[in-house]
Amino acid sequence: MTRPTDLPPLRSDDDGLSRVRDLVGAASADRTIWLMFIDGDGWQNPVLMPIDGVSAVPDPRLLSGLTEILCGIGGDLATDRAGSVIFTYERLGPDEVLADDLAWADALRGACRSSGIEVRGVFLSTRSGVRRL
């Protein structure tokens, strides 16, 4: 995996939140899931992967495809330790956490459990900023 030269490794949960705030930031699009892949040493893959136009509630077909992607990339992220992924669900609308946001967070964690990839964090991006789910 190619490592970015200008970003430090992610060592803590706060590092992950800060990185999402810097790279995704406050919502400007509706219903996008962002994937940030992290190797076993905490280095972020330079590709930030958006999945645009997701449904308001978790879509089983999308989650199945995501699980396949995560299964396929797991070996590429491993060092002496397993790699991980950070998810950000970006949406417009109310700034408070909604039931559908929590459903997406649970579904994304489930995709990771199914694929054996560790979840480094799940975040929500609204117009007011980014927060942990």
* Cα 25 from Cα 14, distance rounded (Å): 15
The predicted structure's pLDDT at residue 127: 97
Structure-token pair, residue 94:
């109310």
Instruction: Tokens 């980014």: give the residue.
Output: 130
Q: Can you give the CATH number for the domain in which 75 is found?
A: 3.40.140
- Cα-trace Rg, the chain: 14
> 44 forms bridges with which residues in the sheet?
38
pLDDT tens per residue, range 102-111? 999 999 999 9
User: What is the pTM for the complete model shown?
Assistant: 0.92
Residue 8 lies in a domain: no
pLDDT tens per residue, range 42-71? 999 988 999 999 999 999 999 999 999 999
Contact 111, 60 (CB under 8 A): no
Instruction: Tokens 């992610």: give the residue.
Output: 10
Residue 92 lies in a domain: yes
Residue 5 lies in a domain: no
* Helix pair angle (60-77, 99-115), 10° resolution: 50
Q: Which domain holds residue 79?
A: 17-132
Residue 98 lies in a domain: yes
Three-class DSSP category at 126: strand
Q: How many domains does the chain have?
A: 1
